[in-house]
Every structure is written in structure tokens, then in C-alpha cells.
Amino acid sequence: MFKSLGTGLLLAVFLIFFEPIMVSAQISAPHIVVGDVEYHYTLSGLSTSDTNTLIVGDSTFLLLSDSASMNIPLTLNAPTSIVLETPTVSESIEVNPIPLWWSFLPPLLSIFLALIIREVITSLFLGIFLGAFIIQAYTHNIFSGLLLGFMSTIDTYLLGAMNDTGHLSIIVFSLLIGAMVSVISKNGGMLGVVNHISKNANSPKSGQMATWFLGIAIFFDDYANTLIVGNTMRPITDKLKISREKLAYLVDSTAAPIAAIGFVTTWIGAELGYIQNGIEKIEGLDEGVYSTFIQSLAYSYYPILALIFMLMLILKNRDFGPMHRAELAARNSTNLKYIYEGDEELDEFKAEETIKIKAYNAIIPICVVIFGTLGGLIYTGWDPDLSLIHI
């Protein structure tokens, strides 16, 4: 009798302490959701032997699952109550989506401020703050949103973004490429490449071709490309009676496009980060990040077509609209006079006065970076089992 009583007490104690863990239902949802955007909600504590019920607003769904958890995609555009009922317990949460059009305000503010104050870091910071303020003000109130929005901008979004291996690798990669740009600028290699290509410019057509080739040669950074090619070729294009408008178009149509599709550029770090975020959200995709980037180059229509279209305009000697009028004015002018800003920004790319200007000072470091990167990718991604050829 006492043995049966002891067994019953142990069973009761076991059920009291462990039953909530065994049968508890839970809905894991994003902290903040945007209306009309699909999010995945994780349902856990499901019964595998009976029917579970999910109630989303006025809609009811019966769930049969062979595991204790599952992901449900939901798109909400209004405050909604979500209830999960299992045979033993139920769980509910309230979801209040932020209107979709509010998500456009932070990037619009950043772009607008960048154009007005011409300072990117401050513009991006204020854009992040506006986004954090919207989230906090929508979940609390406007006054709390100001304080909590500023605090979350620092301790959640900025520090959270920095506390990420992928983000830090992008920053380190960009810093290393920037360091290489500085080295080959100060050692005269950059100017050596420029002089080597531009010395053959003796007509408007060849001057434009030299500018185009320079835009392709300085592929690793669009900022350096714009400053160096634009400022270096400006005296040459003025002498050859090429309009400043055409020079600006040539520089703009080569700097960003070649940086976007180059194998080793300051753009690649950010692009790989975006690709990694996309891969993480696609189930079943186990392709490498850099491999995905290489395969996506075939679909980089704008950069490729921009480079080809500019080359066609040069070879065909064609211009249209205002560009045509600007070129005619430049060709027919005997004394080109332009008002432009100084070259203070170019000082950081000037070579040291005691350095001999040689193109190989740039070619060698660039080749080391390119082949070193490719070699590192092969070394870290090599799989002996996949490399064997079975007959």
C-alpha cells in the first residue's frame, strides 16, 4: 500500500514539475513586423498525435504536424490576434504591424540629407535613428520614441551590426582594399598607369578611348576612379576639345559599373554581405557567397551594358540631345574656359615627390591581391571528394 502511495506521489510530482515543459505551446514572432510583408512565425509545443488549431484574426486553421514545431508564413496588414491551441494548452500574442509606407521614410531621409549636407555618415545615422524612432513611437508613444529610439540606435542597431562576423569581415576587407589604393597612389603606380594609357590620346576619339580604358583600369574603387580619371584627364580632354559634360559622362559610366562587377573591389564586401543575407532567407540554398556573386555577374545588365554602350558611342562618334550640343560647342570653341572647383580632394592620391612614376608599382600589388584572393577562395573551399574524377 505504502509502495503504491509513494509511486503515486512521485508521479504527481513529476507531472506537476514537468508537464508544463512537455505540453507548453509557444508562438515565436518577430519583435516588429511591417504590414503586407511576409514573416515566418515559429509554433512550438505542438501535439504530434492530435490536431492543433491556429487562429489568425477571424480565420481558423487545423494543423497536423509530425514534429513538435513548425514555421508558418503570415502576411498581416492590421492589428491581429494569433492564438495557438493544442489539446492541452493554448498560447496567444498580439501583432500590430507598422504601415508599409513608413519603411520608406528612413532611406529617403538618408538620401535627401546626403544630397544636402554631402556627408554620408551623419545622413545614415539620422536615417537609422528615424527608423528606430518609428518603431519605438509606434509601440509606445512619441515622447518615449525619441529617447528609446536614440538609445536603441546605439545599443541595438549600431552595436548589433558591429557584433556580426559577416559585417566585420566586410569592414576589414574594405579597409584592406582602401589601404592598397593608398599605397599604389603614394608609390606612383596609379599615376604610372594613367600616364601609360593617356600618352596615346591625340584626338577627341582617342582621348575618349583613353578615358574609357582608364576607367576600366582603375576598377577597385569608384571613388578613386572618379577623382583620378576625372582630374587627370581633364587637361587632356580640354586640349582635345572634349566637353566637360562628355568627360563627366565617361567617368560616371565607367567608375561605378566596373567597381560593381570587378572581382576585387571596395564594392564586393557590401555585395557579398547582401548576398549572404539573401541566402540565409532561402531554404535549401547552400551555394557559397562568392560563388553566387560570380554566377550573378551574367545578370548584371546595367554595369555591363553601360560599359558597352559608352564604348559604342565613342567608336561610332555619336552623341544625342544636350550632350551633342555640348560637344559641338567644345569642338567649335577656340578658347575653352570652365569654372570648376579646386583639386584638394585629389591630394590624397598624389604620389610622393621623391618617387619614380612606374606603372608596375600598381600592377604588382593589384595582381597580388587578385591572385591571392582567388587562391584563398580555392584553398578554403577545396573539397578533395568533389575534385576526384570517378570513371
pLDDT in tens, 162-204: 887 767 776 777 777 777 777 877 888 777 777 777 677 788 8
Q: What is the pLDDT of residue 109?
A: 93
Tell me the three cell numbers of residue 190. Answer: 596609379
Residue 160 has pLDDT above 90, yes or no: no
pTM (two decimals)? 0.55
- pLDDT tens column, 299-345: 889 999 999 999 999 998 888 899 989 888 888 876 555 434 444 55
> Among the listed ranges 8-12, 236-240, 302-306, 314-318, which one has the minimum average pLDDT value?
8-12
Determine which of 32-46, 87-101, 278-292 has the lowest per-residue pLDDT on average: 278-292
Average per-residue pLDDT in the chain?
A: 78
Mean pLDDT of the 103-127 span = 90
Q: What φ, ψ does residue 54 adopt, rounded to 5°?
A: -115, 125
Which strands make up the sheet holding 37-44, listed edge to edge?
A: 26-28, 37-44, 69-76
Give residue 342's pLDDT: 45
The DSSP call for residue 155 is I
Cβ atoms 229, 310 nearer than 8 A: no
Which of 293, 276, 270 lies closest to 175, judged by CA?
Answer: 270
Output the pLDDT for position 127: 92
Cβ contacts of 71 within 8 Å, gap of 6 or more: 40, 41, 42, 43
Q: What is the DSSP letter of 163?
A: S
Rounded to whole angstroms, the Cα distance separating 23 from 52 reads 12
Backbone torsions φ then ψ of 84, nearest 5 degrees? -115, 120
- 82 pairs with which residues across the strands? 56, 93
> What is the pLDDT averaged over residues 265-284?
77
Q: How many CB atoms lie within 10 A of CB 40?
A: 14
Question: Which tens digit of pLDDT belongs to each residue from 136-145?
Answer: 887 777 888 8
Residue 31 pLDDT: 67
Residue 108 has pLDDT above 90, yes or no: yes
pLDDT at 275: 83
Task: Output the pLDDT for position 7.
Answer: 54
Q: What grid cell was written down for 232?
A: 587627370
Does 13 have pLDDT greater than 70?
A: no
Task: Describe the strand order of the beta sheet including 90-95 as a list of residue ranges.
Answer: 59-63, 52-56, 80-85, 90-95
- pLDDT for the residue 347: 59
Please name the amino acid found at residue 28: S
**Contact predicate 112/49, CB 8 Å:** no
Q: Write out the residue limits of the CATH 2.60.40.1930 domain(s) in the chain.
A: 25-97
Amino acid at 335: N
Tell me the HSE value of 359 on the side-chain side, using a 13 A CA sphere: 10
Q: Report which residue type is found at 371.
A: F
Rounded to whole angstroms, the Cα distance separating 271 from 290 reads 10
Look up the CATH architecture of domain 25-97.
Sandwich (2.60)
Q: What is the structure's pLDDT at 41?
A: 86
- Closest to 257 measured CA to CA, from 309, 303, 211, 308: 303
Residue 147 has pLDDT above 80, yes or no: yes
